[in-house]
Amino acid sequence: MSNLILIRHGQSLWNLEKRFTGWVNIDLTEKGKIEAKKAGNLIKDQNIKIKYYYSSLQLRAHHTLKLIQKILNDDQSFKKAWQLNERHYGALTGLNKVELANKLGKEKVHEIRRSWSIKPDPLEKTSPLHPLNIDIYKNLPKENIPDGESLKDTYLRVVDYYESEIKKNLNIGNVLISAHGNSIRALCKYLLNIDEKLIVNLEIPTGNPLLIKMSENNEIISCKYLDQERAKDLLVF
């Protein structure tokens, strides 16, 4: 048996400001740092030794991971992968979600944020918020940099990376992935076999480790949030 731990980064500055963040490289708030440290203690209480760590390329994810590792007294290196990045929100990037909901209606914004195949209008390549103009992506091949994504687009890159790079390591030891609301939603859809129509209802809380126990055949035995007070409905477990 092995353990897969998925954690959405702690609260970020743009989470606090209720802005669409996507691929913009935003750091944690003080609350986000506290959430990450609490996550580390929750994992520590499980007496689980992590063999492999993964993070997206984005600061808020690997800052969360470093804070967790500090609690675990584990300074081993971890793999950063663009495939685990947050969904790219296209032309919505940087916009305030509350203001947009007042303009378009709450149901429409919820649909844009959570639906399976709806893609936002593309972000102009000249925008300073476009990944082409953000330093951490300067070595990423341009064909891998989107102008905007649906959850389906995010799902395809996340699942491909999981199947090609992460899954094999679950047969060796425990794995922890620090990523984002939508990249974790995408992986949960795959692992928990969540229907496309239901995925709109899946919400991933910040800084709350999701512990998935897996058999030797990588079949799920159990799945639960370690902080039950902040747990969200997983729809199937």
Tell me the catalytic residues. Answer: 9, 86
Give the CA-trace dihedral at 27, 29, 30, 32, to 10 degrees.
Answer: -90
For the chain, the helix, strand and coil percentages under 3-state DSSP, each to the nearest 5: 45, 15, 40
From the number of C-beta atoms within 10 Å of its C-beta (0-12, 13-18, 19+), residue 28 rates as: buried
The secondary element (H helix, E strand) that includes residue 80 is: strand 79-80
Which residue has tokens 């997206």? Answer: 56
